[in-house]
Amino acid sequence: MTDGLLELRVAWERHLGKGPGSRDWFDSVLSRYREPQRRYHDVRHLRWVVRHVETLAGGRTVADLDAIVAAAFFHDVIYDPTGRDNETASGRLAVRALTELGWDRHRSAAVEAMIVGTAQHDLDGASVDDAVLSAADLGVLAADPAGYSDYVRNVRHEYRHVSDADWVTGRSALLRSLLERETIYAPFLDLDEWEARARGNITAELDTLAG
């Protein structure tokens, strides 16, 4: 299977269930991550987020690992680079899918809240589950320099409708807001190496944009 499909299918079946309805939703979700407007927010990104969730949750007390993995699968399922409500729309679709798969309203709502939370990655009052999903989604910030450069190049491609001047302004503001945070990753996750690499990558990108 291509695109890490086997790994994703195993994770889906482990955490969201099996059966014809489940398989149909899995196929639908994967087809969305293969949409042509995506260059970074694609199946590879999905695979890494799901993988990070399972790794970060290992050895930590989370409330509902299945819900975190479900949120990982659906967190970017709706992705329009020109849109402003991707996370909200993704959360709604997750609720629809999970309801059809037999999840109760409380768990579906928790998944929706985690997905919507990835719009800002605000760690104030974040639960362990929230923090794990946020860190998994932002794991690329702590990639090696080549991986980080690949991420930036692909995101810029997704935002090719934005002028260079507006890109520099908007991207710089986002990067500075990340550096101004006390931490990018929740301290209780003990991701000191990720934190250091992420801050180094962000600082280097800011220097490039300023030049």
Residue among 85, 91, 89, 137 nearest 114 (CA): 91
pLDDT of 1 over the 80 cut: no
Q: What is the mean pLDDT of residues 5-34?
A: 97
Q: Where are the alpha helices (DSSP H) in the chain?
A: 5-16, 20-33, 43-57, 65-74, 86-100, 105-117, 128-137, 145-158, 164-180, 192-210
Residue 3 is predicted with a pLDDT of 58
Q: How far is CA 23 from CA 96, 101, 155, 178, 202, in A?
A: 15, 10, 30, 37, 39
Three-state DSSP class for residue 127: coil
Are the CB atoms for 180 and 59 separated by under 8 Å? no
Instruction: Report the percent of the chain where pLDDT is more than 70.
Output: 99
The dihedrals phi and psi of 95, each to the nearest 5 degrees, come to: -60, -45
pLDDT of 73 over the 80 cut: yes
Instruction: Report the percent of the chain where pLDDT is more than 90.
Output: 97
pLDDT band at 59 (very low <50, low <70, confident <90, very high): confident
pLDDT of 195 over the 80 cut: yes
Residue among 160, 178, 154, 122 nearest 48 (CA): 154
DSSP state of 122: -
pLDDT band at 68 (very low <50, low <70, confident <90, very high): very high
Q: What is the mean pLDDT of residues 173-187?
A: 97
Q: What is the mean pLDDT of residues 147-170?
A: 98
pLDDT of 182 over the 60 cut: yes
pLDDT band at 211 (very low <50, low <70, confident <90, very high): confident
Q: Exposed, middle or buried, 22 (CB in 10 Å: 0-12/13-18/19+)? A: middle
**Cα distance between residue 176 and residue 174, in whole Å:** 6
**Cα distance between residue 46 and residue 16, in whole Å:** 15
Q: What is the mean pLDDT of residues 104-133?
A: 97
DSSP state of 77: S
Q: Buried (b) or exposed (e) across 159-197, using 16+ Cβ within 10 A? A: beebeeeebeeebeeebeeeeeeeebbbeebebeebbeb
Q: What is the mean pLDDT of residues 123-149?
A: 97
pLDDT of 44 over the 90 cut: yes
Residue 19 is predicted with a pLDDT of 92
Are the CB atoms for 68 and 60 separated by under 8 Å? no
The length of the chain, given as a count of residues: 211
Residue 30 is predicted with a pLDDT of 98
Residue 2 is predicted with a pLDDT of 57
